[in-house]
Amino acid sequence: MNAYLKQLVELVDIDKKIDSFEPRIEQIRAELDGKLNAQKDLEAKIEKHNEDLQDNELKKRKNELHLTELNDKLKSLSEKSGAVKTEKEMKALQLEEEIAKEQIDFANDEIERFDKIGELKTTEIEAFKKEIEEMQEEIADVQKETDVQLETLDKERMNVFGDKQTLMSAMSQNIIVFYEKIRRWAGNTTVVPVKKQACYGCYMRINDHTYANVIKGEEITTCPHCGRILYLEPQNEEESAES
């Protein structure tokens, strides 16, 4: 395997390590993010409950105002009853009183219902706040542990970036451009091994001429099917020599 090809194999391995850091960071943050999201959910519930309480209070006040109006109306009807002259007028007045009393009963029931809703929402808000309070202590502990792990991972990542920088500084610029051009679409399968005379990027069998060039390893060879850079792993080199 020539020097350029060795550098490319090493470079793709480094890029694989670099790309592996993001999922590792997500894994480290998973517990913390889960608790933070749970806290946000509780805060959203509190906000929604407060909105419901305001709406509930508004509806209760409307019923209280309506109740005042109905009581005034009932008082007025009672005063009118003394001035009634005919039976027809009396029946009409009694009907109005019955309707007003039914509306008063309904308004009172509604006020009572809104009071119960308000009490329930307030109790739930207090429970949510207590849960958040307890959760914040857990979050603080997990945050400390997460920060330590992320700091360690960041140091490891900086070392890998340093290795890449050192390697690329020793590589031909043309080779780097060629590698990056393929990497744009092939990602971490830019440089792949050949096994059983097949490209392990597209898994297509390569022809004998291309395979012979890969075995020699004297120059950079690409897959005729997909364009990835091919190389033969050390154990396969020995097997090919024996065959």
For residues 194 and 206, give the distance between their C-alpha atoms in angstroms, rounded to a whole number: 9
Locate 23 and state its tokens.
Answer: 């999922």
| Surface-to-core class of residue 177, CB atoms within 10 Å of its CB (0-12 exposed, 13-18 middle, 19+ buried) | exposed
- Averages of pLDDT over runs of 10 residues in the chain (243 residues) are 91 96 95 95 96 96 94 87 81 89 94 96 96 93 96 96 96 95 96 96 96 92 96 66 45
Locate 234 and state its tokens.
Answer: 């050390």
Contact yes or no for 38/135 (Cβ under 8 A): yes
For residues 32 and 39, give the distance between their C-alpha atoms in angstroms, rounded to a whole number: 11
* pLDDT for the residue 241: 47
* pLDDT for the residue 223: 97
* pLDDT for the residue 78: 84
Task: Go through the domains of the chain in sequence order and give each one's CATH number.
Answer: 19-169 (1.10.287.1490), 173-242 (no CATH)
